[in-house]
Amino acid sequence: MIYGYARVSTQDQNLDTQIEQLTKFGVDEVVKEKISGVSKQKQQLDELLSKITTGDTLVVTRMDRLGRNTVQLLQLVEQLRERNIHFVILNLGIDTRTPTGKFFLTVMAAFSELDREMIKEKQRSGIKLAKQKGKYRGRVKKYTDKHPGMNHAIELRNTTDKTVKEICAITKVSQAAFYRKLKEMEEKEGI
Per-residue three-class SS string for 150-167 = HHHHHHHHHHCCCCHHHH
The Cα 33–Cα 150 span in angstroms is 44
What's the pLDDT score for residue 90? 92
156 burial (CB, 10 Å; 0-12 / 13-18 / 19+) is: middle
Which pLDDT tens digit goes with each residue over 25-84?
999 999 999 877 667 678 888 899 999 999 999 999 987 787 666 667 777 888 888 899
Q: Which of 22, 112, 99 is nearest to 65 (CA)?
A: 22
Task: Say what the pTM is.
Answer: 0.57
pLDDT at 3 over 80: yes
Mean pLDDT (the chain, rounded): 85
Which pLDDT tens digit goes with each residue over 120-129?
899 899 889 9
Cα–Cα distances in angstroms (integers) from residue 39 to residues 14, 66, 70, 77, 115, in the given order: 19, 10, 14, 18, 23
What's the pLDDT score for residue 48? 92
pLDDT at 146 over 90: no
- Do residues 165 and 179 lie in contact, with contact meaning Cβ atoms separated by under 8 Å? no
What's the pLDDT score for residue 68? 60
Stretch 95-109: mean pLDDT: 82
* End-to-end Cα spacing for the chain: 65
Stretch 74-100: mean pLDDT: 87
The Cα 182–Cα 191 span in angstroms is 15
The Cα 66–Cα 55 span in angstroms is 20
pLDDT at 96 over 70: yes
What's the pLDDT score for residue 70? 66
Stretch 142-157: mean pLDDT: 83
Assign 101 a pLDDT band (cuts: 50, 70, 90): confident
Q: What is the dihedral of CA 95, 21, 3, 6, to 10 degrees?
A: 110
Q: Catalytic annotation on 9?
A: yes
pLDDT at 168 over 70: yes
What's the pLDDT score for residue 93? 86
